[in-house]
Structure 1
């Protein structure tokens, strides 16, 4: 029987437009107190492939499709000896599968690195996949096998965007964050930086946010912009902020392992005398204005229309000219909830992060685990002789 070819969506193309500079992947890292059952995990992967068959496929960028390939759960789940091995952490999505799970065994427990193609799904969809994987791991006869994964953004456009065309069809600036660090050459090295706020520290930040009547995301965005002040002479920056479009319609209640992310472009003043408090209030005011105008849908409707009439390779080039992926960016990947767990195993640490980017580019990713700890992660590829300059400045 001929295997099915799976078509991509319009929003999948956004991630393909910049593949020459970085491989679009999303990551989840876990530290466990016990060893995971590998055969059980492989069976769980096989079960999820019944619902998300693209994980076993290779991606065809010319036609924006996933093509059947000779991959199985053994290709995806592997025990590795070096958890920083380049080939295990970054791979070619055009020839390899769309998911990799690396198990690093050290002592009594395991460390897991789960990486998924960002062409296939965004951070919110990735969390849905992780929850599905855990459900099949914990319940071998789970009823979730009957679920249908909805990847189309069209219902969202009909529900929200088309009703608000006067707001949505207008020109929007691109981000303008400067490339603040020098490009170096030399031996390629992978680096990850992580900062963790404890439960007590997180509660303190939440209390301050409530007192200011702002969101945690407002605080994080303002803090990120504030940290960039010392690296640039610009009076202001336009900071992209990804937005989960599922929250605007009924898709939030369905299985949507897909790309359904728009973005706001928050204009932030970088006055030398401006304090973090004033910057946070300004960010909150600007974000509230953009949310009320549904600015995160800008370009999405236009892209969807073009996707219906243009070939994928041409549309990818158009997307690159109209939709920028900033060299330095910020994303809030949300709260990792109680659905992500393994029976009889305690998850000691868990966080989400974006892909590796070549220095001086990087993305700051924020995620919260069970409302207990907040993790800020940053991944980058640098060169050996750039080590001192990069590490001194980025920290």
Structure 2
């Protein structure tokens, strides 16, 4: 029997924030995968190693977690005053599905670096030394993101002393600004309320802040669902009943936010919305063994991604946290002590993170001009990925 040989595709494997993903230049993809559709999805699934019933992604580039089962496609921007178009695909691990419904804020930190190194940013916009401002069009959510990328001797500077909890080694700091981060257009609060009662049949009625900022997110009070807000991954991910309860809450929240019309649709939209729970500051020991003092944080936040508690914090969810914290009366704001604030430092399973946002209320509608955070990024490997030629 004759088998189709493998093909090789130029690719770069990068860490961005606390995530990893395979980055492609759009023009390097096979022609059939340069446009949205089944061929592109099948190609990315095979690159990552999904679907994998063993849950390991051994035969692909994925790392068997939501943070490491990611793909990015970049191209010269078609938008005025932007440098690069950024398309993100979250690849499911155990089934044949690529979710294009949202952004990855962590990998955003690597987009500017890849764009510069790949020649997608005009040379006159890159200083010999200093900071290059890369204007990114986030194609999934139709939003502008600004990345401040350090440059040394005309090339991206990746090494440095900036430390990011959830990442073992220090690297160069990359400031990321999310401009008008309300996700997907429309109202930042799709129900019109900063706090709602979310009724979940068979589970209960919960106070919830449902916000479109960075990524659609449902915030709950930890105490209302039986948690302290200081949990680590093992406390939740080993409990199938808890995970099913969170997924049910997520599905009913998605309906209330207008993201889906029926519960059945939730399975086809795993990446969004996110579910997170918040609590006032409480001391705990992070997954690395680092002691986190309640005196050093404003609140604790835990968030789920692709059905599991995240090991740190998704970058887009951090934008939602920053935005909600800046708006008095949201559950996030109240957990942080209430009042007006333009920045918070929150505790997550791997440590802490500081995020900022400036909010204003105009004609009864809340607006956030931008949310800001610092991440880091680094090329891990570059060259080609190989896939069977008939995989797509």
Give the TM-score band, short-chain normalised: under 0.3
- Which protein is richer in strand relative to its size? 2
Q: Which has the higher contact order (CA 8 A, sep 6+)?
A: 1
TM-score by length of 2: 0.26
> TM-score under structure 1 normalisation?
0.26
